[in-house]
Amino acid sequence: MSGSTSEAGTRLRICLATDSLEPSGLGEHMMLLAVELSKRADVVVAADPRSGLLERAARRGLAIKSVAEGFDDWLARAGHDVLHVHAGIGWEGHELARLGRRAGVGAVLRTEHLPHVITDPLQTAQHIDGIAAVDRLVCVSHGAAESFRRAGYPSDLVAAVPNGIRAVSPVRSRAGVRATLGVSPSRPVILTVARLTEQKGHRHLLAALPAVLARHPDALLLLVGTGPLHDEIAGAASEMGLDGSVVRLGGRDDVPDLLDAADLLVLPSLFEGLPLVVLEAMAAGLPVVATDVAGTQEAVVAGETGWLVPPADPAALAAAITEAFDDLPEARARGDAGRERFERHFQASRMAEATFDLYRAALPQERQTRPMQKTRIGFIGAGGIAQRHLGILDGFEDVVIAAFADVDAKRAEETAARFGAKAFASHDAMLAAVDLDALYICVPPFAHGAPERAAIAKGLPFFVEKPVSLDVETAEDIARAVAQANLVTAVGYHWRYLDTVDEARALLSRNPAQLLSGYWLDSTPPPQWWWHEDKSGGQMVEQTTHLLDLARFLVGEVTEVYGRAGHVDRPDFPGLDVPTVTTASLTFDTGVVANISSTCLLGWNHRVGLHIFADKLAIELTDRDIMVDVGRGRPVRGADGDPVWREDRDFIDAVRGGENRIRCPYADALETHRLALAVVQSARSGQAVRLSPPAIARTEPAPLQPQPRHEPPQGLPPGHRHVRSLGVERPGEAYHFQYEEGPPGDGQVRLDTLYTGFSAGTELTFYKNTNPYLHSRWDGARGVFVPGEAGQHFPVPFLGYMEVARVSESRAPGFAAGDVVASTYAHKSGHTADPFHDLLVAMPADLDPMLGIYVAQMGPIAANGILHADAEMSGTQVSRLGEGVAGRPTVVIGGGVVGLLTALFAARAGAAEIVVADPSPFRRARAEALGFSAMGEDEAAAYAKSAWHHGGGDRGADFVFQTRASGASLHTALQALRPQGTVIDLAFYQGGADALRLGEEFHHNGLNIRCAQINRVPRGLGFSWNKRRLAAETIGLLQTRGEDIKAEMITHVVPFEEAPSFLAGLVRDRPDFLQIVFKVQD
C-alpha cells in the first residue's frame, strides 16, 4: 500500500453534520471549522442535499455525505471517531446525535449556534432529554454557554468555543463596488448582512433610519440576505417612504467587497450566538454598530471597536449610527481596533484548535491511537460502470471510498455525497489534494491515457475498465510503464470471474474446444460518444471485447484474424458512424477456429454469449448462466455469486499486500485489446491480419474467492424489528429484501402496513428494465435526463407508492396507536415515518382501509389531471375541483386505474358526458360497469367528432385525458379534440412516440398538450392546491363511489409473501387485471 495509510494512522476521523435546511451562518461556521480541522484530521461534512451545503463543501475540497441517504449505515461502517452535530434551532440535530451514538462513534458533540431561548420549562426538559446522546454541548460564545447553564444544563456538559473566521480580502476596489451599485464615493453607507427573520431585528433598524436621515439625509442602507420576511420588510420600507434610502440586495456571494465599500456594519439582532458577519466586519476593519446581546458583546467592545445598544431600541440604534457618521475618522479608528481584536481572539485556526481539544477530551483513549488500516480508493469517472463497483466496494470493511473526479462536477458531487468523499472536476486536482492507496479508472475509451499515466506517476495501483484505450500505442506505452513501476493493476474483464466459466475451463481441460461461436446482438447504447468510432472504437472494441477476452481465457492465443463489417445509416442515431454489423473469423494457435458476430441494430438485448463445441460436448455461456449439452438434454445452471465482487476483492487484496489473484492484469488486457483492434483493421482492409504470440506467461488462475452470504441476525435489540420490502433484484425477477429498523425517534411514528397497491404502469418498467432511470440519470439542477448514465441500478429494493398502514407506536403529535393512515413509502411490511417530511393522511373510520391505497398518490394523480383542466379554463383562480370539466363532454383514453379514477372525478364534477376509450374488452366492460360509455380509441375519436358539435367546423372534446403510455394513443387524443382543445397527459412513457404526428391535427387545429405530473400542480396553484388537498378530494370520491371502485377496479388481492411469484406469473401469463393489492395483514 502507499504511504498515505500509515501517515493517516493517528489522524482522527471527524464528521461535521447538520440536518438544518437553511444553514446560513451555521453552514459557514461548519465550512470554516472543516477546512481548519482538515489540516490535522480526516473530515466529512454531512448535510441534507436540499440545504445547498454539500455543494459549498465540495467546492472547498471537503469530503461530503448526504444525511438523507443511508446515513446511519454509513456512520456504523465508516468508523468515525467524532460526530459533531450543529444545530441552528433547538429541535434540529437530535436524531443525528442518536444515530451517532447507536453507530458506535467514539464521541458525539453538539454545537448550539444560538443562546438558550426556550422559555417553556417543559420544552427545556425535552431539549435536555434530547441531548442525552451527546458528550459535550458546545456553544459559540461564553455568553451563550452561560445561558444554558442558567437554564439547568449540567455545567460539565456545556463548553464554550467562540466562533472564528478566516479573513477574506475583497476582490474589487471600494470605488469599483460603489460604482457598480450606483453609490457616490462620499455617500455614507450602512451595511446589514443577515437572514430576513424576526430574530435579526430589521424592523427596528428601519424604525431607526428616519432619525439617521434627519441628520445625514444622503445615508444609504444596503440590506443583504434572504428569508421569510422579505416581502414584509420591502413593504415596511415603502410605507415609511424609505425606498430611496434602502436597497435590498438579496443573497450575495461578494460580502467581502460590500464590507470594503461600506462605512458601517449594523446588526440589530434580538439575540445571537456569536454572529460571523460581525467578525467579518472586524477582520475587514469596518466599525460595527450592534445590539448588546450575548455573543455580540464578546466581539464588539463598546467605545473601542464599535457601538453596542440595547436590543429593540430604534432610538438608541439611530443615535449610535448618527454618532458614527458624525465622526467618520473616529469610526475608522474603531474599525482598526476591531481588526486588531479579531486577529488576537477570533481567528478560525484558534476556534479549530479549541474544538479539537474538546474532541480529544471527549474521546476514549483507545480511539485516539487506533491505527488506520483501510485502503483509500479514488475514482476517476463516476458514471454507470463506476456505480457498479461502488455498490460493491462500499460493502468492504477494509476500504474507504475517498474521492471522485469527473468532468461533470455535479455528478462527482452527487456521488461523493453518498460515500462521504471529496469531489473534483479533474483527476489532476484530485491526485494533488487527496492521499490515496489505489485508483479505479472508469472513463470512456477516448479518455484513457492521461488518467493511467497520472496514476503511474503517483505510484498508485489502478483498476481500469475495458477497453484500455482507443489505439494500441497508448496501451503499449502504459503497459511498459506499469511493468517498470511494478504496479498492481487489474482490468474489468469480469467474465473471467464467473464460476460458470471455471466450470467450462474444467470441462475443456479434458476435452479441448474445436469450434467457438460468439454473439453480441444488442441495441445501440444511448451515450452519443458510443456512436462515433473515434470515441468508442466501435462495438467490437467497446462491447464484444468481452467475448474476445473470454475466448482467449478459455482457449489460448489467436494467430490470425479476418474481419468484415457493414454500416447502415440510422435516423434515430444521427451521426452514428460505427459499424452496425461486424463478424470476425479467428484462428487460434491450437488450430481452433471461432466466429464472433456483433450488431447494434436491435432495440433490445437479444443474445450475448459464447458457444463452445468439442468432441460430444456443447457449452453455451452467458454472463448469467451455463448450458452443458452432452446429448442428454440441455440443462441450464445459473451463475453463482457476483463476478464483479470477485474481481474487486482480488484487486483490493493485492493492493493491500495479500496474495495477487488478479485474473486480468493490464498486460493481459492489452493482448485482448490488440485482438479487437486487429478485427477492426482487417474489416477496413479486407485482408487477414496475423498476430505475433504475446510475451506474457500464462498461469493457472487461482480458485475463485467465496463471496460472503449475509444471513439476517437471529436476535434483535429491544425496539428493533425486521422490515420486508418487495423489490426487483434483476430484470424479470422480483424478490423480498429484509432489513433491520430501529425504534421511532422523537417526532416519528411506526407504521404496520395493512395493504400496498401495485402501480403496474410504473413498477413493471423496473421489472422489464424499461424505466428511464435505469438507462439515464436525472440531473435535478438542470431538469434534464442525461442519457447513458443510469440513475438507478439493480437491485431495486424499494418500489411502490400506494400504502395503507396502522400506527403501532407514535412519538409525534396528532397520531395515536391504532390510527389508520395512507402514505407513499413503498411495498414494505412496515415503515417509520416523520410526519414533518412524509405525507400521512388520516383515513376516515367509515372507509374500507383497502381503498386507502388510492389516497396518498394514485387518487391525487388523477385529481391533478382534472386540476390541470381547471387551470386551463380558470387560470390560478380554481376554487372547486372539476369546475373546468363541469358541463363539458370529455374523453378519457385508457381504462386502467388512472383512467378510471380520472373518469370518476370528472363524473363527480358534473361532466356532461364521459367516454372511456381502451382497446381491451375487459377494461371497457369495467368502465361500463362504473357507468361510462366505453369504446375503442379510434371509435371514441370518431364519436367525439360526430356527437359533440359546437357549430360550424368546431367538433370534438374540450379535454381529452390521455393515460396510456403510447404515442399512438396520444395522437388519437389529439384527433378527438375540438380546435384549440387540450390533451391532459397523465401517461408514463418509456420510449419515443413514432406514431405521434404533430404536423397534422396538432398543428392545424391549434391544439395543446399539458403534462399533469403529480409532483407539480399547475403553475400558480401550489399554495391553494397541494397534494394533501388532492388527497382530501380522493377521500371524498371514495366515500361516494368506494363500493363501486372495490367491486370493479380491485381485481386481485394477493398475500404479500406471494408477491414475487405472482408478478412472475403476471408477466408470463398476461392475465386481464386492473388494480392489484398486496395484503400484508388485516
Mean pLDDT of 817-821: 94
Which residue(s) pair with 538 in the sheet?
Answer: none
C-alpha–C-alpha distance, residues 977 and 1000, integer Å = 13
Phi and psi at 1004, nearest 5°, equal: -75, -30
pLDDT for residue 261: 96
C-alpha–C-alpha distance, residues 285 and 256, integer Å = 11
**DSSP strand E in 100-143: where?**
107-112, 136-139
The pTM of the whole model exceeds 0.75: no
Give the C-alpha distances (Å, rounded to integers) separating 479 from 392, 447, 557, 607, 673: 27, 17, 18, 33, 12
Give the C-alpha distances (Å, rounded to integers) separating 901 from 405, 559, 893, 932, 1038: 48, 66, 12, 12, 10
Q: Convert the pLDDT of each residue in 445-486 to its tens digit.
A: 999 999 999 999 999 999 999 999 999 999 999 999 999 999
Q: Which three cell numbers stand for residue 997?
A: 404526428
Q: Residue 185: how many CB atoms within 10 A of its CB? A: 9
Give the side-chain half-sphere CA count within 13 A for 463.
28
In Å, how far from its chain's centre is CA 78?
20
Q: Convert the pLDDT of each residue in 798-814 to its tens digit.
A: 999 999 999 999 998 88
- The third-level CATH classification (topology) of the domain covering 174-345 is Rossmann fold (3.40.50)
pLDDT for residue 3: 35
Q: Which three cell numbers stand for residue 106?
A: 467514539
Give the C-alpha distances (Å, rounded to integers) separating 522 from 619, 676, 684: 21, 18, 22
Give the C-alpha distances (Å, rounded to integers) separating 779 from 154, 773, 886: 47, 11, 39
Phi and psi at 550, nearest 5°, equal: -65, -40
User: Is the pLDDT assigned to residue 604 strictly greater than 80?
Assistant: yes
Which residue(s) pair with 640 in the sheet?
Answer: none
In terms of Cβ atoms closer than 10 Å to its own Cβ (0-12, 13-18, 19+), residue 808 is middle
SS3 labels along 297-318: HHHCCECCCEEEECCCCHHHHH
Edge-first strand listing for the sheet containing 625-629: 636-638, 625-629, 617-621, 607-614, 515-523, 593-602, 581-588, 558-566, 689-690
pLDDT for residue 712: 53
C-alpha–C-alpha distance, residues 832 and 809, integer Å = 9
Phi and psi at 548, nearest 5°, equal: -60, -40
**What is the length of the chain?**
1082
Distant-in-sequence, close-in-space partners of 116: CB < 8 Å, separation ≥ 6: 124, 144, 147, 148, 150, 151, 153
Q: Which CATH superfamily is domain 4-165+350-368 in?
A: Glycogen Phosphorylase B; (3.40.50.2000)
pLDDT for residue 6: 35
Q: Which three cell numbers stand for residue 279?
A: 467578525
Are residues 545 and 672 in contact, defined by beta-carbon separation less than 8 angstroms? Answer: yes
Give the C-alpha distances (Å, rounded to integers) separating 312 from 143, 201, 298: 19, 7, 19
What CATH architecture is 375-491? 3-Layer(aba) Sandwich (3.40)
Q: Which three cell numbers stand for residue 666?
A: 493490464
C-alpha–C-alpha distance, residues 826 and 865, integer Å = 23
Which of 66-75, 380-389, 507-516, 708-717 has the weakest average pLDDT?
Answer: 708-717
Helix (H, G, I), strand (E, B) or coil at 831: strand
Q: Convert the pLDDT of each residue in 911-945 to its tens digit.
A: 999 999 999 999 999 999 999 999 999 999 999 99
- What is the distance between the terminal CA atoms of the chain, rounded to a whole angstrom? 57
- The third-level CATH classification (topology) of the domain covering 858-1013 is Rossmann fold (3.40.50)
Query: When comparing pLDDT for 753 and 785, which is higher?
Result: 753
C-alpha–C-alpha distance, residues 121 and 144, integer Å = 18
CATH hierarchy code of domain 494-639+664-690: 3.30.360.10
pLDDT for residue 4: 37
Q: How confident is the model at residue 788 (pLDDT cuts 50, 70, 90)?
A: low
Pairing of strands 1008-1011, 977-985: parallel
Pairing of strands 625-629, 636-638: antiparallel
Q: Convert the pLDDT of each residue in 1055-1072 to its tens digit.
A: 999 999 999 999 988 999
Give the C-alpha distances (Å, rounded to integers) separating 123 from 129, 151, 686: 10, 11, 84
C-alpha–C-alpha distance, residues 756 and 854, integer Å = 10
Q: Convert the pLDDT of each residue in 952-1000 to its tens digit.
A: 889 999 999 999 989 999 999 999 999 999 999 999 887 778 889 898 9
Distant-in-sequence, close-in-space partners of 437: CB < 8 Å, separation ≥ 6: 1, 2, 4, 5, 375, 376, 377, 460, 461, 655
Distant-in-sequence, close-in-space partners of 99: CB < 8 Å, separation ≥ 6: 71, 72, 75
Nearest CA to 562 among 685, 400, 668?
Answer: 685
User: Is the pLDDT assigned to residue 10 strictly greater than 70?
Assistant: no
Q: Convert the pLDDT of each residue in 458-467 to its tens digit.
A: 999 999 999 9
User: Is the pLDDT assigned to residue 371 strictly greater than 60?
Assistant: no
User: Is the pLDDT assigned to residue 714 strictly greater than 70?
Assistant: no
Q: Convert the pLDDT of each residue in 95-148 to its tens digit.
A: 899 999 988 899 999 999 989 888 777 777 778 877 888 999 999 999 999 999
On the question of a common fold for 4-165+350-368 and 174-345, the answer reads yes
Residue linked to cell 472543516: 34
Q: How confident is the model at residue 370 (pLDDT cuts 50, 70, 90)?
A: low
C-alpha–C-alpha distance, residues 175 and 178, integer Å = 5
* pLDDT more than 90, % of the chain: 78
Domains in the chain: boundaries: 4-165+350-368, 174-345, 375-491, 494-639+664-690, 721-850+1067-1076, 858-1013
Please state, rounded to an integer, the average pLDDT across all residues of the chain.
92
Which of 130-134, 196-200, 682-686 has the weakest average pLDDT?
Answer: 130-134
- The third-level CATH classification (topology) of the domain covering 721-850+1067-1076 is Quinone Oxidoreductase; Chain A, domain 1 (3.90.180)
Q: Which three cell numbers stand for residue 915?
A: 367516454
Helix (H, G, I), strand (E, B) or coil at 870: helix
Mean pLDDT of 316-332: 96
Give the C-alpha distances (Å, rounded to integers) separating 397 from 74, 79, 375, 858: 11, 10, 9, 41
C-alpha–C-alpha distance, residues 898 and 889, integer Å = 19
C-alpha–C-alpha distance, residues 243 and 1005, integer Å = 50
| Residue 686: DSSP 8-state | S
C-alpha–C-alpha distance, residues 218 and 741, integer Å = 63
